[in-house]
């Protein structure tokens, strides 16, 4: 345990018309430092996660964090990007600086503003995270990419529409208890399962309720080395972690297996000297419901092609053996690209610190996080444990 989270902050996710990338960054950076009980002068390094890809006209955004406090001026600051895993990329970059002893305290911020971009451009921007020579003309943008994955999974393992609807309904029900969530409405299984005017098919077998939301939002956290963290009022330690990068072209992989996800989980649990049975809950990357289904298998909850059993047995519900996405996940909470990975770490830290309110998992002691960029291309796993 070389580092821990000692403070954090989270904006509301959704359509935030009165905010900008800059205002969101400043807000959560300021609040995270205050939550940690540190001053700007105590920060040794800053890492910003911001995908952008055309969403914001302002590029080169790393130094926007300095707007939070004049004492952040001259701090080494870097923007990190790794598609939808951008936020976790920023967190892991901060961990590396602490492990290398080049920093004692690191401020990590994740942000995205997507809703001010016209609809067709949103799809084009997101599709930049695919392999354009093969998938650049995919209808429905990235939903189309995951629609292809769902089609292939269905062809190999049978129709999984019931399982996808269960995942959507589960995560929307969980999202009701999350004050940061973009959609706090329990849609119910029947609504998620049936095609309707309000829930039409979007791509392949994926309906609107199978797709995460277009969102604005930000989250921030303060990392400190273990010695420093022990003197803070709260500390959630990194027990283990892994970053695994896979090929960008889906044609070079068996895309229904998410092998990069499986390898990241294997390495992270090995470094933590733990198994899935030791975890209290998991926050996983449900950009589309088919992703969560495949991730059950990749993390080892079910054999290949049998992820639906996890839902049938109730394993991943709030009262199950391993609750998955107690925050509502990307499905209900929202998915502002650069903020998502930081958000997953923040809501997990809240659980382990007993600060999760109505979405609290009883007796939570150990958390697992999986955040991915692209179609299981950038794969990050973090294993968290409360230090106090």
Residues facing residue 83 across a β-bridge: none
Structure tokens at 212: 């995460």
Look up the CATH superfamily of 3-117+214-230. Thiolase/Chalcone synthase (3.40.47.10)
pLDDT of residue 367: 98
Contact 33, 7 (CB under 8 A): yes
pLDDT band at 216 (very low <50, low <70, confident <90, very high): very high
SS3 118: coil
pLDDT tens-digit series, residues 59-114: 999 999 999 999 999 999 999 999 999 999 999 999 999 999 999 999 999 999 99
Could you tell me if residue 40 is left (phi over 0), alpha (psi between -120 and 50 degrees) or otherwise beta?
alpha
pLDDT in tens, 24-49: 999 999 999 999 999 999 999 999 99
Q: Distance (Å, rounded) from C-alpha 364 to C-alpha 358?
A: 13
% of the chain with per-residue pLDDT over 90: 98
3-state SS of 290-359?
A: HHHHHHHHHHCCCCCCCCHHHHHCCCCCCCCCCCECCCCHHHHHCCCHHHHHHHHHHHHHHHHCCCCHHH
CB 115, CB 214: distance < 8 Å: yes
pTM across the whole model: 0.98
Question: What are the residues facing 45 on neighbouring strands?
Answer: 106
Query: What is the chain's mean pLDDT, rounded?
Result: 97
Please report the pLDDT score of residue 42 as a whole number: 98
Which pLDDT band, with edges at 50, 70 and 90, does 388 fall under?
A: confident
Helix (H, G, I), strand (E, B) or coil at 44: coil
What are residue 14's DSSP bridge partners? 216
**Pairing of β 45-49 and β 105-113:** parallel
């Amino acid at each position: 345990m070389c580092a821990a989270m000692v403070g954090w902050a989270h904006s509301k996710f959704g359509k935030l018309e009165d905010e900008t990338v800059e205002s969101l960054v400043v807000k959560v950076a300021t609040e995270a430092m205050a939550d940690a009980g540190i001053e700007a002068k105590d920060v040794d390094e800053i890492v910003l996660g911001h995908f952008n890809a055309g969403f914001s006209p302002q590029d080169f955004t790393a130094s926007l964090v300095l707007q939070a406090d004049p004492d952040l001026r001259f701090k080494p600051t870097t923007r990190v990007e790794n598609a939808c895993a951008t936020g976790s990329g920023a967190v892991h970059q901060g961990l590396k600086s602490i492990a290398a002893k080049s920093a004692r305290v690191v401020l990590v911020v994740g942000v995205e503003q997507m809703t001010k971009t016209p609809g067709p451009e949103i799809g084009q921007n997101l599709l930049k995270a695919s392999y354009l020579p093969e998938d650049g003309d995919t209808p429905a943008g990235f939903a189309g990419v995951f629609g292809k994955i769902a089609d292939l999974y269905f062809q190999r393992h049978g129709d999984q529409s019931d399982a996808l609807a269960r995942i959507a309904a589960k995560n929307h029900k969980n999202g009701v208890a999350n004050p940061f969530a973009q959609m706090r409405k329990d849609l119910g299984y029947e609504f998620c399962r049936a095609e309707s005017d309000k829930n039409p098919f979007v791509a392949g077998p994926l309906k609107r309720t199978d797709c995460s939301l277009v969102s604005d939002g930000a989250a921030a956290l303060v990392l400190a080395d273990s010695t420093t963290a022990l003197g803070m009022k709260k500390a959630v330690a990194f027990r283990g972690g892994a970053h695994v990068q896979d090929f960008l072209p889906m044609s070079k992989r068996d895309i229904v297996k998410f092998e990069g996800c499986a390898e990241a989980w294997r390495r992270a649990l090995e470094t933590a000297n733990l198994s899935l049975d030791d975890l209290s809950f998991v926050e996983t990357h449900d950009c589309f419901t088919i992703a969560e289904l495949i991730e059950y298998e990749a993390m080892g909850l079910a054999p290949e092609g049998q992820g639906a059993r996890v839902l049938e047995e109730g394993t991943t519900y709030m009262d199950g053996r391993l609750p998955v996405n107690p925050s509502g996940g990307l499905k209900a909470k929202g998915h502002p690209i650069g903020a998502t990975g930081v958000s997953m770490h923040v809501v997990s830290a809240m659980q382990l610190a007993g600060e999760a309110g109505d979405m609290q998992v009883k007796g939570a002691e150990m958390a697992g996080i999986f955040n991915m960029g692209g179609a299981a291309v950038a794969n990050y796993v973090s294993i968290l444990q409360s230090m106090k």
